[in-house]
Structure 1
């Protein structure tokens, strides 16, 4: 079993995240805490995510407080559908990954799962969890591998894009204007 501890600073979100990633022979387990403030909202988030060794999300649990108001989301992938907060969500059956708005870790799931080679790109569907907006939607994203350390991330339709730097484990080092790894 191998543990990796990461500390990310959220530049735009005025946040700090402590994330522990544990790899064993069958799964990747992530346990993380984020605290911060944005637009007169003070927030704290604790989340747990379990993926298989291919970085395909199997289960997630998010407990957030935004100005002391709770927001909780729990999801589990079973067969070909997602059960989110106790309900089957049909329009998310194609989603393999999740994207949590306040953490760069979400980008590591498709980067590690897709195993793109330089110059390759892939379109994916994700469950997007907007913590501060308290919304859950399906979204399309595009990843392009520029080099071993650089990926281009795009929302589709393209209303946002960024060049992300990763380490040799596919974990985010730099996400310009949004996140920087501190440790």
Structure 2
């Protein structure tokens, strides 16, 4: 199990994440303290993926606020915590939680892009702190395999080159997040 921390480049936010690679997939548990659109929040979330980095389950809880639970089948079909089918997310394999650079790891690892290869994808975008889920278009391009990727938030006309470590976890996300030194 690994532990990493990121600091927000936009304010006083910080995230503490545990990353556990298991024989049947990957499990992440994290706590984020941040600020978005002038509103401070605390967020706890978990993400469980299969061995091919497809999201099977995520749970999010805002301190003093709402909760969100999503179940994916790894093939782009989603249900909420009550078992209701979420047709608006049809075809989305990945999630993107606005408060964290971690969810960039999901398509980076799942897509296995070759250098120079670009892949547009639809993702289930989870806003924070409101936990509203929408389908958005993004793209990833491999610049240096297992080291650097270009993220294009097509839905908001934003791009950034992301440096990643051997596990695909973001080291540097210019203007948004930076990894902190490991706690010893």
**TM-score, L = length of structure 2:** 0.91
Alignment of 1:30-179 (within 5 A): 30-65=28-63, 68=64, 70-78=65-73, 81-86=77-82, 87-148=84-145, 149-157=147-155, 159-179=157-177
Q: Secondary structure at the match of 2:66?
A: strand
Q: Secondary structure at the match of 1:55?
A: coil
* TM-superposed deviation, 1:77: 1.4
Contiguous gaps of at least 5 residues in structure 1: none
Q: Give the CA RMSD over aligned residues.
A: 1.5
Which segment is superposed worse, 76-85 or 86-95?
76-85
Q: Assess if the C-alpha contact under 8 Å between 1:13 and 1:37 holds in 2.
A: yes
Q: Assess if the C-alpha contact under 8 Å between 1:153 and 1:162 holds in 2.
A: yes
**TM-score, L = length of structure 1:** 0.91
Q: Assess if the C-alpha contact under 8 Å between 1:8 and 1:16 holds in 2.
A: yes
* TM-superposed deviation, 1:133: 4.2
Alignment coverage as a number of residue pairs:
178
Q: Secondary structure at the match of 1:94?
A: coil
Q: Assess if the C-alpha contact under 8 Å between 1:14 and 1:38 holds in 2.
A: no
* TM-superposed deviation, 1:125: 1.1
Q: Assess if the C-alpha contact under 8 Å between 2:136 and 2:155 holds in 1.
A: no
Q: Assess if the C-alpha contact under 8 Å between 1:13 and 1:178 holds in 2.
A: no
Q: Distance in 1 between matches of 2:59 and 2:76?
A: 19
Q: Secondary structure at the match of 2:150?
A: strand
Deviations 1:54-82 (A, max 9, x none): 110000000013xx4x1211000147520
Q: Distance in 2 between matches of 1:18 and 1:84?
A: 26
Q: Assess if the C-alpha contact under 8 Å between 2:10 and 2:176 holds in 1.
A: yes
Q: Distance in 2 between matches of 1:116 and 1:82?
A: 25
Which segment is superposed worse, 34-43 or 98-107?
34-43
CA gap 1:146/1:91 in 2 versus in 1, 3 angstroms: same
Contiguous gaps of at least 5 residues in structure 2: none
